[in-house]
Amino acid sequence: MKGLTETLWIVVASLVIVVVALIILTIFAKVIPLFSSLTEFNNYCTLKAKATCTMGSLPPDWESQVNVGGQIKTCKDVAGATCADITGQSPVSGG
């Protein structure tokens, strides 16, 4: 009977671990943006930059690498290297 109890504990513990792992993977899958085309990624980067360039700088993850349709790209690659490249305006000065 002791062996059966231990086996049940092992099975229950394994199931709990699997469920927790699936929940964590689901959460992270929603956080990581997935892009199938350069146009979609460019639009994402442009919107993101326009929001932060009003404060005088590009987003902190501007040079983070993302898989776009099988190619590794960064927002800098597809949208531009400076706020002026994206918005057409000169950057806000720190005054």
d(CA 75, CA 18): 35
Let me know if residue 92 belongs to a domain: yes
30 falls within a domain: no
Q: Specify if 42 maps to a domain.
A: yes
Kindly report, residue by residue over 28-60, the tens digit of the pLDDT. Answer: 665 566 788 889 999 999 999 988 988 888 988
Q: Is residue 89 domain-resident?
A: yes
Q: Would the pTM of this model clear 0.75, i.e. be above it?
A: no
Q: Is the pLDDT of residue 7 over 60?
A: yes
**In the chain, how many domains are there?**
1
**Residue numbers of the domain that contains 71:** 38-95
DSSP string over 31-61:
HS--BSSHHHHHHHHHHHHHHHHTTTS--TT
Report the distance separating Cα 42 and Cα 74, nearest Å: 9
